[in-house]
Chains A and B, each alone.
Chain A
């Protein structure tokens, strides 16, 4: 059994309608070293537990959003739209 994901615009849909874009990462600030950059690009926490992650409703409305999902059970605990101001200021989200 796969799982349902709730699109902020379209409501509950099968997960196959969505594209997954991985856990939320933190872009290094300013002039980062090669090591900081490669860590940002390649290394992941890959937690077994609640993970904040990016999704896009690819075959639906196309909206990008964040979800909090337990990777041990695939239970989705929360979804929300990204905050544009914070994303622009250093891209922390």
Chain B
């Protein structure tokens, strides 16, 4: 009974930093925590610390729109996210935490012939990799989502959609907390409010990390800092092909549940889902200019509301409850930058743009394997930073921009 009123902490507050850790992970979001968890769980590497500038899950992990899917366009991207969805499907039992994952399906609307061609291309790539995706017409869309305006009244009438049944939404904070608790139980040290201020290099290696709470020596370093990746990279002397932009979203007041699929429209630059609380969660595209100032803009609210109303005119009188922004680290080809860098023991998880959260478990598994074995897993080899030097990009623009 007592525990109800005095719940136990999910992860222990730690005292001072130790003098040395085998692995120092910069960034206490879903990627950093998952990497720490799988390092300890799969590889027995437990001398790990996580340094987070603010509170755990304060960055993109706590600000995304919680959509999980695998219907990407490139075979490399689709295969990678297929594994991520599989891990997410088992994650609640793996971490013994209700993550409220509901796979109600994901619809990417096509409003033009070109849109249908892209949808068909993605469906074929997905089918070859065993991912459930198909192109459906307006009749089937109406069965799945009767509330959607399928008439010819909108400026861009809906011609069809890419239907991805395993797509769904999950409780994003719970993913962060569950990984943090899991990592803590395995002996990983989590240090919030500890900012990295510099790296001490000796040749091609990082020997120590300078923080606001002192200096720690390290065996290896992982940077999983999303929108701040360029800045952390610069501290280590590494230049990255990344620009930082803000992405915004808003929720409406709660309504009766009437939408259980996720609706995405690249043409209208909007995506819509209804949360378990009944709020309509609406997001759009990044702001085109680079910025580190995470303040929302009125123009975003105006155009995303207008576009959401093209799809769901019945939301006309619904009030906006709150809006928020997050920082996104855009890479030139909309694919992540994952794994080794030219600094021998400095590994990155960056360049995620607007879709990093849905990759958290597979990033954890593959980066942990890389750190523990020093070998790049085949699944993430195409996403190496080196591809920008050799000009062998993995263009994910068609399936990553907007369509979350």
Partners in one complex: yes
* Dominant secondary structure at the A interface: mixed
Which of the residues A34, A41, A45, A48 comes within 8 Å of B239, measured between beta carbons?
A: A45
Asked if B288 and A71 make an inter-chain contact with CB atoms under 8 angstroms apart, the answer reads no
Which of the residues A19, A43, A47 comes within 8 Å of B288, measured between beta carbons?
A: A19
**B-contact bits for A8-42, CB 8 A (1 contact / 0 none):** 00000011100110110000000000110011011
Given A22-B290, A71-B291, A71-B293, A46 contacting B242 (CB threshold 8 A): yes
List, in ascending order, chain B residues with CB within 8 A of A51's CB.
Answer: 290
| CB-nearest residue of chain B to A75 | B293
Q: Interface size bucket, B side?
A: 20 to 34
Asked if B230 and A2 make an inter-chain contact with CB atoms under 8 angstroms apart, the answer reads no
Q: Which of B227-258 contact A (CB under 8 A)?
A: 230-231, 234, 239-244
Asked if A46 and B293 make an inter-chain contact with CB atoms under 8 angstroms apart, the answer reads no
Tell me the minimal C-beta distance from A18 to chain B in angstroms: 8
Given A42-B241, A43-B240, A46-B244, A35 contacting B293 (CB threshold 8 A): no
Asked if B243 and A44 make an inter-chain contact with CB atoms under 8 angstroms apart, the answer reads yes
Tell me the minimal C-beta distance from B253 to chain A in angstroms: 23
Asked if A2 and B299 make an inter-chain contact with CB atoms under 8 angstroms apart, the answer reads yes
List, in ascending order, chain B residues with CB within 8 A of A53's CB.
Answer: 289-290
Given A22-B290, A74-B291, A42 contacting B388 (CB threshold 8 A): yes
List, in ascending order, chain A residues with CB within 8 A of B391's CB.
Answer: 34, 38
Q: Does B332 contact A (CB under 8 A)?
A: yes
Number of residues on chain A facing chain B (CB within 8 A): 27
Q: Does A89 contact B (CB under 8 A)?
A: no
A20 to B286, CA, bound (A): 13
Q: Which of B84-102 contact A (CB under 8 A)?
A: none
Which of the residues B287, B291, B292, B388 comes within 8 Å of A43, measured between beta carbons?
A: B388
Asked if B389 and A23 make an inter-chain contact with CB atoms under 8 angstroms apart, the answer reads no
Given A44-B243, A46-B230, A1 contacting B297 (CB threshold 8 A): yes
Asked if B290 and A35 make an inter-chain contact with CB atoms under 8 angstroms apart, the answer reads no
List, in ascending order, chain A residues with CB within 8 A of B291's CB.
Answer: 71, 74
Q: Does B378 contact A (CB under 8 A)?
A: no
Q: Does A86 contact B (CB under 8 A)?
A: no
List, in ascending order, chain B residues with CB within 8 A of A38's CB.
Answer: 388-391
| CB-nearest residue of chain A to B231 | A48
Which of the residues A34, A41, A43, A73 comes within 8 Å of B293, measured between beta carbons?
A: A73
A51 to B287, CA, bound (A): 17
Asked if B388 and A22 make an inter-chain contact with CB atoms under 8 angstroms apart, the answer reads no
List, in ascending order, chain B residues with CB within 8 A of A46's CB.
Answer: 230-231, 240, 242-244, 290
Asked if A2 and B240 make an inter-chain contact with CB atoms under 8 angstroms apart, the answer reads no
Q: Which of B305-345 contact A (CB under 8 A)?
A: 332
Tell me the minimal C-beta distance from B336 to chain A in angstroms: 14
List, in ascending order, chain B residues with CB within 8 A of A23's CB.
Answer: 290
List, in ascending order, chain B residues with CB within 8 A of A74's CB.
Answer: 291, 293
Asked if B389 and A35 make an inter-chain contact with CB atoms under 8 angstroms apart, the answer reads yes
Q: Does B155 contact A (CB under 8 A)?
A: no
Given A16-B299, A38-B391, A45 contacting B290 (CB threshold 8 A): no
Asked if A44 and B299 make an inter-chain contact with CB atoms under 8 angstroms apart, the answer reads no
Which of the residues A15, A19, A34, A44 comes within 8 Å of B242, measured between beta carbons?
A: A44
Given A38-B388, A46-B230, A71-B292, A22 contacting B243 (CB threshold 8 A): yes
A56 to B230, CA, bound (A): 25
Tell me the minimal C-beta distance from B54 to chain A in angstroms: 15
Tell me the minimal C-beta distance from A25 to chain B in angstroms: 12
A22 to B243, CA, bound (A): 9
| CB-nearest residue of chain A to B230 | A46
Could you list which residues of chain B lie within 8 angstroms of chain A, going by C-beta atoms? 230-231, 234, 239-244, 287-293, 295-299, 332, 388-391
Could you list which residues of chain A lie within 8 angstroms of chain B, going by C-beta atoms? 1-2, 14-16, 19-20, 22-23, 34-35, 38-39, 41-48, 51, 53, 71-74
Known: A45-B234, A71-B290. 8 other contacts (CB 8 A): A2-B297, A20-B289, A22-B290, A34-B389, A43-B239, A46-B240, A46-B290, A71-B292
**Can you list the 4 inter-chain pairs with the closest CB atoms, starting with the nearest?**
A46-B230, A2-B297, A42-B241, A20-B289
16 contacts between A and B (CB under 8 A): A1-B298, A2-B287, A2-B297, A19-B288, A20-B288, A34-B391, A38-B389, A39-B389, A43-B241, A44-B242, A46-B230, A46-B231, A46-B242, A71-B293, A72-B292, A74-B293
